Structure 1
Amino acid sequence: MSLGNDGLDLRAFDKYVREGRAHYRSGNHEAATRSFENALGLCRGPLLDGVCRGPILQGFQTWLNEAWLECMEMLMDSRLALGRHRELISDLYWLSTEHPLREAFHRQLMLALHRSDRQADALQVYQRARRMLNDELGLEPGRSLQNMQHAILTADSRLVLPDTVSRP
C-alpha cells in the first residue's frame, strides 16, 4: 500500500473490500467485481514484503496478505458467476501455483476448466492438488475440493451456468 493524497490507501482498500463482500453476499456479482478490482488496484507490488519486524507489524502484514487473498478469491468467484471462466484460467493457474495450500483457487480453476469443456484438465488439477496436500501435509483435500471433483465426475448440472448469464 502507498500513501495517497488523503491518507493511507489501506483505508480505501478496506472500504472496497467491505463493499465487495456486501455485494458478493447479495449476489450482485457485477458490483462485487468492481469493488474487488478497485481494492486490488490499490495494491502495487509485494505487500510490505521484508519490511515488517516485530510481532505487531508481522501480524499486520499477515492480516493484509490474508485480506488480499480473500479479495482475490471472492473476485474469482464473482467473475465465475458472471460466466467469465475462459478468461480466468491463466490467472487461476498462477494463483493456485503461488498459493498451493489455498484450496479455493484449485476449486475455482477446476470449475473454470470444466465450464470451458476441459474436464480432463479440471480433474488433473484435483489430482495435482491432492498429491501436493498429501505429500506436504499428509492431508486429503477438503470437502469443497472433493465436492468439485465429484460434481465434475458425475456431470452435475449445478456446475452449468444459468442461461441468463452472458458467456464470453
Structure 2
Amino acid sequence: MKYQLLGSLRVIDGNTTSFVSAQKVETLLAALLVRSDHVVTADQLMTELWGERLPRRAAAGLHVYVSELRKFLSRPGRADSPIVTRSSGYVLRLRSDEIDYQSFLELTDLGRKLLREQRPEEAVDCFERGLALWRGPALGDIGDGPILRSFATWLTEVRLDCAEMHVDAQLQLGHHRELVGHLFALIAESPLRETFYRQLMIALYRSERRAEALKVYQSARGTLIDELGLEPCSALQELHRAILAADDRVLAGCSAG
C-alpha cells in the first residue's frame, strides 16, 4: 500500500485509489502517517482533531475515529491492522508500505550529494523525480493542529530547497535560457525567496538580457523593503554590482548557491 501526502491525502492499493471522506478520520490518518512507526499520544491526537477546546467526550470520540480508520485501512488478506494501540496512544506501522514524502526526501538527499560531487546531470534527474511527486500543497487542506502544521511547514521548506538545487544544477549544465520562465514562476510563488531572484538574474545575464537582470534586482529590492523593511542580502547585492560592471565572471563562474 502507498500513502500520498504531497497534495491531498490518498491511499493507493494496487490500481485502486482511496480517499478518506470523513474530515476527522482523514486528520487522524494524516497525523499518524506523519509520525509513522512512532507512538502519537491520545492527547496529541485530540489536539489535532479539536484544538485546545476539546469536547466533553473527546476520548470516546477519538476511539470511534480510530475504529473507523481501522475499517478504512483493512484489506483482504491483511490479518492485522496497521494501527496499533499503545498504553499512551496509537502508532501506525508502515512495514512494507510506502509514503511519498519519504521517497521525496531520499531523492532530494541523493540529488544534493550528486551536486556536491559535481555530477549535475544526475542531480537534475533526482530533483525532477522528487519534485514530480508533488500534486499540490503538502497535506492539501487537512487540519491545522501542531503536528500537521509543523510538518507541512517543514516539508514545504525542503521542497523549496530542492527547487533551488534543481536550478543550481541546471545552471551548471548551461540551461540558463530554459530556466527564465520557470524562475519567474518560482518567484511568483515565493516572492521573499532571495535565491530565486539571484538565480533569475544569473540566467538572464547569461542569456544576454542584462537590462532585465537589473530590473529583477530592483523588483526584489522593492518587494523586500515593502514586505520586510530589509535590503537584499549581501549575495544579491554583490551580484547586482557584478552585472552593473558587466563582470564576465557572472557568465563563467558565478554560482547560484
Give 1:34-49 correspondences, 5 Å limit.
Answer: 34-49=125-140
Identity %: 48
Matched residue, 2:141: 50
Q: Secondary structure at the match of 2:135?
A: coil
Whether the 8 Å CA contact 1:3–1:9 is kept in 2: the answer is no
2:159 pairs with 1:74? no
Match of 2:81 in 1: none
Counterpart residue number, 1:105: 196
| Richer in helix (by share) | 1
Partner of 2:43: none
Asked if 1 retains the 8 angstrom alpha-carbon contact of 2:108 and 2:127, the reply is yes
Q: Secondary structure at the match of 1:97?
A: helix
1:144 aligns with 2:253: no
Q: Matched residues in 1 for 2:234 and 2:100: separation? A: 36
> Which letter maps to 1:80?
L
Structure 1 segments of 4+ aligned residues over 2 angstroms from their partners: 1-6
CA contact (8 A) 2:202 2:251 kept: no
Higher strand share: 2
Q: 1:17 to 1:4 in 2, by over 3 A?
A: farther
Does the 8 Å CA contact 2:192/2:224 hold for their aligned counterparts?
yes
Residue 117 in structure 1 maps to residue 205 in structure 2: no
Question: Radius of gyration: which is bigger?
Answer: 2
* Map of 1:157 onto structure 2: 248
The 1-side partners of 2:116 and 2:225 are apart by 33
Q: Give 1:85's match in structure 2, choosing from 176, 182, 201.
A: 176
Counterpart pick for 1:15 among 79, 102, 106: 106
Of residues 127, 134, 137 in structure 1, which corresponds to 2:218?
127
- Cα distance, 1:46 vs. partner? 2.2
CA distance in 2, matches of 1:130, 1:113: 17
Could you report, residue by residue, the CA deviation over 1:87-131 in whole angstroms, capped at 9, with x for unpaired residues? 010010111121110000000000010011000000000001101
Alignment partner, residue 165 of structure 1: none
Q: Deviations over 1:33-56 (max 9, x none)?
A: 011001011111222232132111
Q: Distance in 2 between matches of 1:137 and 1:100?
A: 11
| Structure 1 range deviating more: 149-158 or 103-112 | 149-158
Larger CA deviation: 93-102 vs 151-160:
151-160
The Cα of 1:4 is off from its aligned counterpart by 5.4
Total equivalences in the alignment: 162
TM-score w.r.t. length of structure 2: 0.60
| Structure 1 residue ranges without an equivalent (≥5) | 163-168
TM-score normalised to the size of structure 1? 0.91
CA distance in 2, matches of 1:158, 1:52: 48
